[in-house]
C-alpha cells in the first residue's frame, strides 16, 4: 500500500486526478463486494429459507440467482426457528466484533462523514457483510443498500487512511464508496453517484466535491457487477423495462393526492422505527438476544398475516427483501387487491422496525421501496376504480410511490427519483415522480429516517471553519468597525512617563504612534509598556519610538473580514488599525476581533432564520 502511495506521489497528478484514480479502485472493489454480498445472501436464502423452511424468497424480475427453484411447503415452526437463530447470529457478530455494523449501515456511514473524519474501522465492512447476509438470508425484513453502502464506504476510508490522505480526501473517498455500492447493487449508477452527495444532508443540500469521484466509482462498480451476471441479465433495470405514459396533465391531481398517502405512511414508518429502537434500547439484555427477539416477533406477525389472509403468498413479502410482491405491484398491481397491498405496506413497516431496530443488520432503502410501491399500487387500484376516466395505469402509481416515499423519508429527492427510474426503466414517469417526490419532501420536512443527517453543510462538523471563511469573505471591514470611536494617538516624542499616565486614563489597549503630520509610524499596546513599569529610571529617557513596533499589520475599509481574521491570527492580536486605502499611514480607527466574530454570528443567525 505504501508502494502505491509512493507511485501516486511520483507520477504528477492534480488533486482531482488522484481522487479519480482512487475512486476507480474503490469502484472495482465495491463491485466485487456487491457480487460477494449478493451471493452470500442468496446462498443463505437457498440453504435455510427455501430448503429448510419452505419459503420462496420472491425476487425482482432481473434478479439472477445461481440456485435452482424447488417445490416448497411452508413450515411455520422452522421459519420462526431460522429467523430467531439468524437474528441471534447476526446480532452476536455485530455485538462482539463491530457494534457499528448493527442497524442500517447508511446512517453509520453518514455519521462517519460528519463526525469521525471519514474513519471507518477496517473490520466493519467484513462484519457488516456477514451479519447482513445472515439477516437477509434468514428472512429478516431489511434492505441491501445499507450493508453494501457501508462496505463501499469502509473500503474508501481504508484506502485513504493507508495512503495517509487528508481528512477531506478520506471523506470524499468514503462517500464515493458508499455511492458505488448502491449504484452496483441496485443497477443504478447515476443515482448511486447523486445518492453519495445528497444523503448526507436533510435540507436539500449537496456535497458537490463527492459527485465526480462517486460517478467514477459508481460506473465501475455497476459495470463489474453487471458483467458477473449471465448475458441475458446484464444491464437490465432491476424490475424490468416498464412502459408507461402520462395521458394528461390533469393526472397530476391524483398523483398529488397520492403524495399525501405516502407522506402519512412515511411519518408512520419513521415513528414506528424509532419507537421500537427506543423500546429495545431500554431492555437490559445483550444486543444479540434483542436481535433474536425482534426477528422472532417479525416472523410471528408475518405468519399471522399469512394465515389470516387465507395463505396468500403475497403476504410473505413482509419478510426478506419483499421484492417479489414489489415486482407485482409495479408491473400488475390490478392482480392484487388494494387491501392486500395496504396490509403488506403496514406490516412491512412493523417487521422492518423489529428486525433492524432490535440490532439486526440491514438497510432501510429496500423495505422503503416495498412500502412505497405497495401504498402507491393500492392507491392506484382505488383510483382506477373510482376515477377510471383519468387513471388507467395503476402500476404507474406503484412506481411513483416508490420514489415519493423514500424521497420524503430519506430527504434525498433527486437520487431517489433517478434510482427508481433506473431500477424500472420508467423514464416516462419522470414528471410525476418529480412532482410527488417534491411534495413528499415538503410534507415530511420535519422527519427523516437517517438521524445522523445534518441540515446543511453549514451545520456539518466536516465543514467547520469552511463557512466562517465563506461568510466573512462576503463582509467588509467598513461594515463592522466603529468609525466614530475616539482614538488616542501618541506622538513619537511622547515620553514613557506620559505614556504610563495615559494608560491609567483610558481603556484603550492599542496606541498608534504618529509624527507631527499625523502619519502612523508604528504601534504599541498596553502590554508592551508593562515591561517598563518596574524601572522608573528610564521613564523620562525613553519615548514612544522606543516602545513601538514599526511593523504594523493593518486593514483597509475595503478588505473583507476573512482577510482581517487571518491577520488577527497571524500575531494573535485583538485589534487591527484601519487605514485609508489611498494613504496607508492615515489611521481611521480600529477593528476588534470580537466585533468580527459578532458580525459572523449575526450573519449566521440571519442565514438560520431564512432557512
**Is the pLDDT confidence value at 551 over 90?**
no
- Confidence class for position 106, pLDDT limits 50, 70, 90: confident
Rounded to 5 degrees, what angle do the CA atoms 604, 451, 125 make?
Answer: 120
DSSP 348-360: HHHHHHHHHHTT-
Give backbone dihedrals phi and psi of 363, rounded to 5 degrees, phi first.
-95, 170
Residues 488/490/494/499 CA torsion (nearest 10 deg): 50
Q: How many Cα neighbours within 13 Å face the side chain of 125?
A: 27
What is the C-alpha radius of gyration for the chain, rounded to an integer number of angstroms? Answer: 32
Q: DSSP state, 69?
A: P
Q: Name the grid cell of 535.
A: 524601572
- Please choose, from the candidates 558, 590, 554, the residue with its C-alpha nearest in 3D space to the C-alpha of residue 479: 558
pLDDT at residue 607, rounded to an integer? 57
User: Which position has the higher pLDDT, 248 or 288?
Assistant: 288
- Confidence class for position 424, pLDDT limits 50, 70, 90: confident
SS3 content of the chain, % helix, strand, coil (to 5): 65, 5, 30
**pLDDT average, residue stretch 521-538:** 79
- CB-based burial label for 571 (10 Å; 0-12, 13-18, 19+): exposed
pLDDT at residue 53, rounded to an integer? 79
Give 381-402 pLDDT, tens digit per residue: 999 999 888 888 898 999 999 9
Q: In this structure, are residues 433 and 404 in contact, taking their beta carbons and an 8 Å threshold?
A: yes
Rounded to 5 degrees, what angle do the CA atoms 410, 131, 450 make?
Answer: 15
Give 207-262 pLDDT, tens digit per residue: 888 999 999 999 999 999 999 989 888 888 888 888 887 778 888 999 999 999 99
- Confidence class for position 3, pLDDT limits 50, 70, 90: low
pTM greater than the 0.75 cutoff: yes
Q: Name the grid cell of 239.
A: 424490475
pLDDT at residue 442, rounded to an integer? 94
DSSP 217-256: HHHHHHHHHHHTS-GGGTT--TT---------GGGHHHHH
Give backbone dihedrals phi and psi of 154, rounded to 5 degrees, phi first.
-65, -40
Of 179-183, 266-270, 423-427, the one with minimum mean pLDDT is 423-427
Q: How many Cα neighbours within 13 Å face the side chain of 321?
A: 25
Measured CA to CA, the distance from residue 535 to residue 547 in angstroms comes to 14
Q: DSSP state, 495?
A: B
Give 22-63 pLDDT, tens digit per residue: 999 999 999 998 899 889 988 988 888 888 777 877 788 888
Measured CA to CA, the distance from residue 510 to residue 433 in angstroms comes to 63
Q: Count of residues for the chain? A: 611
In 402-502 the beta strands, taken as DSSP E runs, fall at: 490-491
Domains in the chain with CATH codes: 2-463 (1.10.3080.10), 466-610 (3.10.580.10)
Looking up cell 420536512 gives 445
Q: In this structure, are residues 408 and 444 in contact, taking their beta carbons and an 8 Å threshold?
A: yes
Amino acid at each position: 500500500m505504501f508502494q502505491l502511495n509512493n507511485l501516486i506521489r511520483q507520477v504528477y497528478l492534480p488533486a482531482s486526478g488522484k481522487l479519480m484514480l482512487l475512486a476507480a479502485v474503490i469502484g472495482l472493489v465495491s463491485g466485487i463486494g456487491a457480487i460477494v454480498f449478493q451471493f452470500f445472501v442468496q446462498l443463505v436464502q437457498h440453504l435455510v429459507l427455501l430448503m429448510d423452511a419452505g419459503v420462496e424468497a420472491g425476487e425482482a424480475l432481473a434478479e439472477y440467482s445461481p440456485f435452482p427453484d424447488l417445490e416448497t411447503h411452508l413450515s411455520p415452526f422452522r421459519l420462526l426457528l431460522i429467523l430467531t437463530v439468524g437474528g441471534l447470529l447476526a446480532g452476536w457478530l455485530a455485538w462482539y466484533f463491530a457494534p457499528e455494523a448493527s442497524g442500517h449501515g447508511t446512517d453509520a456511514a453518514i455519521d462517519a462523514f460528519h463526525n469521525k473524519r471519514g474513519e471507518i474501522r477496517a473490520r466493519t465492512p467484513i462484519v457488516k457483510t456477514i451479519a447482513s447476509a445472515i439477516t437477509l438470508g434468514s428472512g429478516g425484513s431489511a434492505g441491501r443498500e445499507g450493508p453494501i453502502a457501508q462496505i463501499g464506504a469502509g473500503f474508501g476510508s481504508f484506502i485513504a487512511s493507508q495512503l495517509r490522505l487528508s481528512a477531506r480526501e478520506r471523506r470524499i473517498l468514503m462517500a464515493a464508496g458508499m455511492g458505488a455500492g448502491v449504484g452496483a447493487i441496485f443497477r443504478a449508477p447515476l443515482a448511486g453517484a447523486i445518492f453519495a452527495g445528497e444523503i448526507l444532508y436533510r435540507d436539500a443540500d449537496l456535497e458537490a466535491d463527492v459527485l465526480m469521484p462517486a460517478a467514477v466509482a459508481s460506473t465501475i462498480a455497476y459495470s463489474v457487477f453487471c458483467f458477473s451476471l449471465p448475458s441475458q441479465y446484464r444491464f437490465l433495470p432491476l424490475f424490468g423495462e416498464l412502459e408507461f405514459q402520462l395521458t394528461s396533465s390533469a393526472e397530476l391531481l391524483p398523483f398529488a393526492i397520492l403524495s399525501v398517502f405516502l407522506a402519512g405512511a412515511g411519518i408512520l414508518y419513521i415513528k414506528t422505527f424509532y419507537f421500537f429502537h427506543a423500546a429495545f434500547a431500554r431492555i437490559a439484555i445483550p444486543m444479540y438476544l434483542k436481535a433474536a427477539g425482534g426477528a422472532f416477533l417479525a416472523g410471528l406477525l408475518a405468519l399471522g398475516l399469512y394465515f389470516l389472509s387465507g395463505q396468500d403468498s403475497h403476504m410473505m413479502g413482509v419478510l426478506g427483501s419483499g421484492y417479489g410482491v414489489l415486482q407485482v405491484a409495479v408491473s400488475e398491481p390490478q392482480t392484487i387487491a388494494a387491501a392486500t397491498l395496504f396490509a403488506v405496506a403496514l406490516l412491512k413497516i412493523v417487521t422492518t422496525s423489529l428486525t433492524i431496530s432490535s440490532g439486526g443488520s440491514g438497510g432501510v432503502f429496500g423495505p422503503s421501496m416495498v412500502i412505497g410501491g405497495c401504498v402507491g399500487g393500492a392507491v392506484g387500484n382505488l383510483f382506477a376504480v373510482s376515477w377510471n376516466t383519468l387513471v388507467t395505469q395503476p402500476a404507474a402509481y406503484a412506481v411513483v410511490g416508490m420514489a415519493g416515499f423514500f424521497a420524503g423519508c430519506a430527504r434525498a429527492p433527486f437520487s431517489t427519483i433517478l434510482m427508481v427510474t433506473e431500477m424500472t426503466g420508467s423514464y416516462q414517469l419522470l414528471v410525476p415522480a418529480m412532482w410527488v417526490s417534491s411534495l413528499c419532501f415538503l410534507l415530511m420536512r420535519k422527519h427523516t429516517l437517517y438521524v445522523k443527517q445534518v441540515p446543511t453543510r453549514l451545520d456539518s462538523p466536516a465543514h467547520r471553519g469552511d463557512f466562517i471563511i465563506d461568510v466573512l469573505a462576503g463582509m467588509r471591514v467598513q461594515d463592522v468597525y466603529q468609525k466614530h470611536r475616539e482614538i488616542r494617538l501618541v506622538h513619537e516624542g511622547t515620553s514613557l512617563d506620559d505614556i504610563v499616565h495615559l494608560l491609567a486614563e483610558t481603556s484603550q489597549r492599542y496606541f498608534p504612534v504618529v509624527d507631527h503630520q499625523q502619519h502612523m509610524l508604528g504601534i504599541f499596546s498596553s502590554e508592551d509598556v508593562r515591561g517598563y513599569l518596574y524601572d522608573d529610571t528610564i521613564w523620562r529617557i525613553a519615548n514612544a519610538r522606543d516602545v513601538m513596533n514599526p511593523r504594523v499589520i493593518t486593514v483597509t475599509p475595503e478588505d473583507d473580514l476573512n482577510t482581517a481574521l487571518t491577520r488577527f491570527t497571524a500575531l494573535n492580536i485583538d485589534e487591527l488599525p484601519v487605514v485609508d486605502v489611498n494613504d496607508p499611514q492615515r489611521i481611521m480607527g480600529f477593528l476588534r476581533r470580537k466585533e468580527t466574530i459578532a458580525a459572523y454570528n449575526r450573519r449566521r443567525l440571519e442565514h438560520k432564520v431564512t432557512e
